[in-house]
Amino acid sequence: MPSNPRGSLVIRRGQRQDVPLILRFIRELAEYEKLAHEVAATEADLEETLFGPRPTAFPLIAELDGAAVGWALYFYNFSTFHGRPGIYLEDLYVTPTARGHGVGRALLAELARIAVAEKCRRVEWAVLDWNAPSIAFYESLGAVAMNDWTVYRLTGAAMERLAGESGRGASSLPYRPTPS
């Protein structure tokens, strides 16, 4: 990693003992995005999904001069057109006092290194349309908005209703979790 003239910056993989820190960062990000009311995650949820027998997402922690000041969370997706995996960046957060020190750029650079090493074809993420500082930052890195695509989400009662249709001809396959 390149040296940082404003301090010692280290990006490391998150560890089980980071769960309280990760939850704190999630809550801080949610406050910034005006979505704090949507945070339902618990330490137990994070411990199971990030560090349990089958992790489904992977945290990176940024430390500036030994203090945790940011994080990124990613998981793998797949491009059928490329026949290769990709990385989806779910969250990127840098504490307000650490902004402007290269922390966000270092987290994204580490994510790009992981993607290249694992032969992924792309790294992608979503950004709220009102978040002009983040949009400008991402564009300065060469990221391109995918304006032709609209994100859809199925949750809650609608997801439950649709799941209930599986017994009515939509599928005769029983649900079997992926083997560990």
DSSP 165: G
Measured at the CA of 135, the angle between CA 134 and CA 137, to 5 degrees, comes to: 60
Any idea how long the chain is?
180
Q: Which residues are identified as catalytic?
A: 138
DSSP states along 116-179: HHTT-S-EEE---TT-HHHHHHHHHTT----TT-------HHHHHHHHHGGGTTT--PPP-PPP
Please report, as a single letter, which amino acid is at residue 171: S
Tokens at 139, concatenated: 């564009």
Structure tokens at 66: 């030994």
Q: What is the DSSP letter of 149?
A: -
